[in-house]
Amino acid sequence: MTNERLALREMLKDKMRKTVDLAQTAQSRGEPMPPLQKPLPEDIPLIRLPDWQHNVGELQLPFSELVAARKSVRKYAPRPLTMHELSYLLWATQGVRKVRDDKSAWRNVPSAGNRHALETYLAVRDVTGLEAGIYLYRPLEHALVFLYTPDDYTDQFAKAVYRQLFVAKAPCSFIWTTIPWRMEWRYSEASVKVIALDAGHVCQNLYMAAQSTGLGVCGIAAYDQELMDALVQVDGTDEFVIYLASVGHVQA
């Protein structure tokens, strides 16, 4: 076995308390806490998401049935998502329950140290009331920011996911990036493992929320890093794509 493979395996182990001096982290040194969500200009237009309650269909399935029925769905009906459905999925995956002193935000998914080092972008193709293009979710406001519509949108997206056309043509895809510093501020180099774990928590919530409303999801870990970073306009160093998932109505 190569040294490189062994080194990668070490990243999966919990050695934080043995190898990281938590007294020397940025937090312990008194450096300013990273913001709870990605900073944007204060005057940027927000698209407020509607109240999803009572507007997304039946949500009373027993949890055991949701778990038993969970599967990855790659075939979607030619039917748009509604804004209420999208609002519900965003609430379930990154929704904020409460904020304390602008220092902590409790969300609907777990995160190491409550740091939540992920951002949610949307590649929208067919959502009622939204222009096709790339959006950023603002969890503190439960709102969207329209970023832009790429030229040759479907083709660019398809190239970025290695021609998995069901992703590029899905009504909506969730694209999660990480801003590592938000986690590194507290955990230094031990952040790598827990950021990856956090991404899994978020996608699993998407699966369960979608299943509860008759939608289908497929988590995607195969993508061209540089092309996907470019698609959502992040620098690839201080913020980069870590995971994505396509969403749509299940084809009968």
Q: How does pLDDT run across 133-191, given as a tens digit for each residue?
A: 999 999 999 999 999 999 999 999 999 999 999 999 999 999 999 999 999 999 988 89
Q: Given this model, what pLDDT does residue 60 score? A: 62
At 112-124, the pLDDT tens digits run 999 999 999 999 9
pTM for the complete prediction? 0.95
Amino acid making up residue 156: Q
Tell me the pLDDT band of 78, cut-offs 50, 70 and 90: very high
At 187-227, the pLDDT tens digits run 988 899 999 999 999 999 999 999 998 999 999 999 999 99
Q: Which two tokens stand for residue 131?
A: 């222009």
Q: Say how far residue 160 (Cα) sits from the centre of its chain.
A: 17
CA distance 102 to 246: 32
Q: Which of these, 153, 152, 245, lies nearest to 207 by C-alpha position? A: 245
> What architecture (CATH level 2) is domain 14-249?
3-Layer(aba) Sandwich (3.40)
Average pLDDT, the chain: 93
At 2-31, the pLDDT tens digits run 988 988 888 888 877 788 888 889 999 999
213: left (phi over 0), alpha (psi -120 to 50) or beta: alpha
Q: Given this model, what pLDDT does residue 189 score? A: 85
At 39-69, the pLDDT tens digits run 999 999 999 999 988 676 656 678 898 899 8
